[in-house]
Amino acid sequence: MIVLINNPILQTLIFSAFFFLAWVLMIKKGTEFGTLSISKTQELKGLAILLIVLSHISYFLVSDNHFLWPLSIMAGIGVNLFLFLSGYGLTVSNLKNNLSVWQFYKRRLIKLFIPLWPMLILFFSLDFFILHINYSWQYIGEAMLGITRHADLYQDINSPLWYLTFILGFYILFPLLFFKKRPWLSAILIFLAAYFFVGLEPIPFYNVLHLYKVHTVAFPLGIFFAWLMTNINFDKFKIFWEKTKPLAREFIYYFSIIVLIAIFVYSVMDSAVGASANKEQLMSIISVLALTLIFILKKIDFKFLYLFGIYSYEIYLWHWPIMYRYDFIYKYLPAWLSTLLYLALFLFFGWGFQKIVGLFSNKCEVKK
């Protein structure tokens, strides 16, 4: 259901005031400077899922896309952030652990599919019994296998699942092409595989190729970035930094942050959406790299983003069907308040769903 909205700019201002107030109130002094730690990757995931959800609300749920602007124009950056962080995280993990191909698939695919199946079973059932929507058995079977060949926000069971199919392809390729001594080579090979797959324009995925084309670089770039971070000699940098005069250090630090913010803002405002896929992807990647470097350099922790990062996958899986087909908040309350309540609800839901899935996973391990 499309939500009619009045005074979108005023409602955006009210939402933004509460949104950033919560953000500011949860800022803590940072403990990790100069690294892309697990905590910071969670914060970036939190930012990514917020950008995606707010974009879906603004452009596809409400009647006027001035609502939530400019927070709503960065969904592509959010997707590329997820892909970049996935490539980075898998590489860092595999450099530390010796996993066989089977062990990798077992560990990673379980994390993808166990949260997916309950969501699909519930919404297939609700759509059938409440909305009287019938899906073919082929469509249901493909969805359960993580294969989404359409991304229609209003017709598919859950159109954001196109991303799951895309990342699943990278997960399948990763252990086959990962070289522990040469991660940079793995990054190149995986990029080439994605590039040629998209270039072949396979007919089964024709309806989602336009989405794939602007997201082929981020995952292999994350692999390359992880290799780069593990090969940089930070000790020499720290010695140089400590020898620098305090005033010069402060100037260099804040000047670097300002430059990176300027690059990010420019790449967002001149995002090239609607231009060629290569240009759009380039601008999005610039935004992702600028954000990543800002988070590496920052000396504060964003606990607000961290919370959303922990439950980002669950929120991604559940947010759209709940808001579009089974909305129970927007129809009764102003859009600014409804959006805040949904974000809070998704956090609570993500926490509860993770607990349930965790208990199930632990029981399975005990039985083994």
What is the distance between the alpha carbons of residues 212 and 206, in angstroms, rounded to a whole number? 10
The predicted-structure confidence for 60-101, as pLDDT tens digits, reads as follows: 999 999 999 999 999 999 999 999 999 999 999 999 888 888
The CA angle 190-40-352, to the nearest 5 degrees, is: 95
Side chain identity, residue 6? N
What is the distance between the alpha carbons of residues 114 and 107, in angstroms, rounded to a whole number? 11
The predicted-structure confidence for 254-304, as pLDDT tens digits, reads as follows: 999 999 999 999 999 888 787 888 999 999 999 999 999 999 999 899 999
The predicted-structure confidence for 138-177, as pLDDT tens digits, reads as follows: 999 999 999 999 898 899 999 999 999 999 999 999 999 9
Q: What is the pTM of this model?
A: 0.93
- Residue 244, phi then psi, degrees to nearest 5: -75, 145
Q: Which has the higher per-residue pLDDT, 269 or 244?
A: 269
The pLDDT of residue 89:
95
The pLDDT of residue 366:
45
The predicted-structure confidence for 318-352, as pLDDT tens digits, reads as follows: 999 999 999 999 999 999 999 999 999 999 989 98
What is the distance between the alpha carbons of residues 301 and 310, in angstroms, rounded to a whole number? 14
Q: Which residues lie below 8 Å from residue 158, measured CB to CB, with a gap of 6+?
A: 119, 120, 123, 317, 320, 321
pLDDT level of residue 361 (50, 70, 90 thresholds): low
What is the distance between the alpha carbons of residues 151 and 236, in angstroms, rounded to a whole number? 48
Handedness of CA 304, 307, 309, 313 (dihedral sign): negative
pLDDT level of residue 363 (50, 70, 90 thresholds): low
The pLDDT of residue 368:
46
What is the distance between the alpha carbons of residues 1 and 330, in angstroms, rounded to a whole number? 10
pLDDT of 234 above 80:
no
User: Which segment of 26-30, 265-269, 355-359 scores lowest on mean pLDDT?
Assistant: 355-359
Collapsing DSSP states into helix, strand and coil, what is residue 62? strand
pLDDT level of residue 360 (50, 70, 90 thresholds): low
Biggest CA pair distance of the chain: 70
Tell me the pLDDT of the chain averaged across its residues: 90
Q: Which has the higher per-residue pLDDT, 310 or 239?
A: 310
Query: Domain segments of the chain: what residues?
Result: 8-367
Give exposure, 225-262, as e/b (b: 16+ Cβ within 10 Å).
bbbeeeeeeeeeeeeeeeeeeeeeeeeeeeeeeeebee
What is the distance between the alpha carbons of residues 314 and 356, in angstroms, rounded to a whole number? 12
Q: 277-285 contacts: CB < 8 A, separation 24 or more?
A: 277/210, 277/213, 277/214, 280/76, 280/214, 281/80, 281/213, 281/214, 281/215, 281/216, 281/217, 284/76, 284/77, 284/80, 284/214, 284/218, 285/80, 285/217, 285/218, 285/221
